[in-house]
Structure 1
Amino acid sequence: MRSDEIRGLWLGLLGVAIFALTLPMTRLAVGTPEAPQMSGVFIALGRAVVAALLSAGFLLATRAPWPRREDWWPLAITSAGVVFGFPLFTSIAMRHVEAVHASVIVGVLPLATAAVGAWLHRQRPSAGFWACAALGSVLVVLFALLRSGTSGLSLHPADALLLAAMACAAIGYGWGARLSQRMRAEHVICWALLIALPLTLPAAWSTRPQTPLPAPAWWGFAYVAVFSMWLGFFAWYRGLALGGTVRVSQVQLVQPFLSMLFAVPLLGERLDAVTLGFAVAVIATVFIGKRMPVRPRAA
């Protein structure tokens, strides 16, 4: 393995470790149906505003050049996925499901990211790769159905939101990684945040908390604003650019486990055998899928 690929894997792992705290910290900030804290919309858009202000300072300090004309559209897609879609869907969903539960849904993200990366980089995954992707998706949906808390095979709205969040994240990761091959990885997320600021700032202001909130809620918000929405992407996009999206995306294998482990001491949640079993099964499909051949597409 080339040194760039090794560096990419380690940077990807650092990014994943930072992202693994996103669900528990979001749960801390949003609260529960019985004890609500911040609104999901404020958490999603407010964290983007904080990260955008940090980004403006960083871009000025590093004398970042303006993106090229052909980069604005990919930046807009990246922004739609990781600044709007993923934060909004997860922040709203996390009031209604525990972080341990949501971590299982995250298990499908590595294959989704790899699939988007393969399409963007004109690669042709094998039938075995797609079979593993389909099996992992089925397992995630089955888990959500079993834990929906309703009679019959109906998906809880929060689980549907989490699945939509995974799709948004995969798209945002894939396009961001593609941009990171010709822009500094840190600049990609900074520009994606800044172009969203005219929308995120007024929306965050209008949904800001109107009553005092406990310190843990603000600590959770601060983490997702500074680390999940900003610094984590510095390592993640650089890792994807160095090691390749299809390969490095698979370090997300450890994210569900890390999220579960963080949720237990932070939120007092419990791990049961069914949740852990589904998490292991989903991760196994991803592990097998990443070993399937991915070839360049014919021109």
Structure 2
Amino acid sequence: MRRTAPSALLRTAGVPALFVLLWSTGFIGARLGLPHSGPLTFLSLRYGVALVLLALVALATRAPWPRRPAAIGHYAVAGLLVHGLYLGGVFVGISLGVEAGVSALIVGLQPLLTAALAGALLGERVSARQWLGLALGLAGVALVLAGKLGQGPGDALGSLACVAALLGITAGTLYQKRFCADMDLRTGGVVQFAAAGLATAPLALLGEGWAVDWTGEFVFALLWLVLVLSIGAVTLLYLLIRRGAAAEVASLFFLVPPCTALIAWPLFGETLGAAALAGMLLTAAGVAMASRRAGT
């Protein structure tokens, strides 16, 4: 019987589509929870709960813990970039007035940065077809969020925070691919959440006083972001990074803003016009083109 390659299995099993769906709900969860807590307090709680859950899973399954200081350091740096800087930037940006859709669009520029840097840093070849797909994806995202962009990007500091988030997820994707390829997702996740929490918690205490309004809406948002995003979606992201080229994986982020808009439609009454629907189709075509390797 012919065996299916791991990378092909990830595609045929629909893991990329599931990843996009789960990742998109992060903006929804932020919108639900941030009215009841400061952004850094919210994230500190999220990191702490995720750390405890992953540590219990690691102990129960006897997962191997990293022993080399260099490996621990690499895991911590990746965690600071993917969790601390990326999530911190998004949450702070939204809390300062940047709309979730605009925030998603800014972070949606990640595939272009990743593709531009992957060749130089990882030795990956980005074909002309992939570049064209990335350009189509960016155009599609702009169409989907054209109405939101017309309303302005929100607070200037919030926009800068979203740019910092863009840099964090781009650098984190490349760093994870380069230095954390052999990381156990259970114990490595503990190290990463610990690093992000140690960096975020003191800032939350000094700047926000750890104030939380423990409503049912906040608890639901917190648990959703911990279980579905911090553990589920991040695990899928690392599996995709491990099995595929960084530029290919990054192209999936173009689908996040349109998917977020679809989810927000029934939840918050945000409507989708003809331009938005056309943009979704254009984005899907761009991602399909950018995700294909040369010669396939």
State the identity %.
Answer: 21
- CA 1:131/1:235 → structure 2, altered by over 3 Å: closer, same or farther? closer
- Show the counterpart of 2:189: 189
1:183-240 Cα distance to aligned partner (Å, 9 max, x none):
2234333321123343334444553653634321221122223322223222221222
How many residues of Structure 1 are paired with residues of Structure 2 in the alignment? 286
Q: 2:27, 2:210 → 1: CA distance?
A: 20
> What residue is the counterpart of 1:123 in the other structure?
124
| Whole-Å separation in 2 of the counterparts to 1:146 and 1:134 | 20
Q: Tell me if structure 2 keeps the 8 A contact 1:116–1:171.
A: no
Cα contact 1:8–1:243 (8 A) shared by 2? no
Aligned to 1:86: 86
- Classify 1:53/1:222 alpha carbon distance in 2 versus 1 (closer, same or farther; 3 Å): same
Distance (Å, rounded) in 2 between the aligned partners of 1:190 and 1:210: 25
The aligned residue for residue 176 of structure 2 is 176
In the alignment, what sits opposite 2:217? 216
Residues 105, 190 of structure 1: alpha-carbon distance in 2 compared, 3 angstrom cutoff: same
- State the shift of 1:118 in Å: 4.1
Mapped to 1, the partners of 2:197 and 2:107 lie a distance apart of: 27
Structure 2 portions without partners, runs of 5+: none
Structure 1, residues 241-271: CA drift from partner, whole Å, max 9, x if none?
1234333443444322321122122333333
- Give the aligned partner of residue 200 of structure 1: 200
Shift in alpha-carbon separation, 1:149–1:258, aligned structure 2, 3 A: closer
Using the alignment, how far apart are the partners of 1:273 and 1:164 within structure 2?
32
1:18 Cα offset (Å): 1.7
Correspondence for 2:261: 260
User: Which residue does 1:30 correspond to in 2?
Assistant: 34
More displaced 10-residue stretch of structure 1: 163-172 or 264-273:
264-273
> Partner of 1:3 in structure 2?
5
Q: Is the 8 A contact 1:15 1:236 kept in 2?
A: yes
RMSD of aligned C-alpha atoms?
3.5
Larger CA deviation: 120-129 vs 14-23: 120-129
Equivalent residue for 1:269?
270
Letter in 1 for 2:187: H
What is the TM-score normalised by the length of structure 2? 0.77
Quote the residue 1:164 is aligned against. Answer: 164
Letter matched to residue 24 of structure 2: A
CA contact (8 A) 2:50 2:193 kept: yes
1:45 matched to 2:44? The reply is: yes
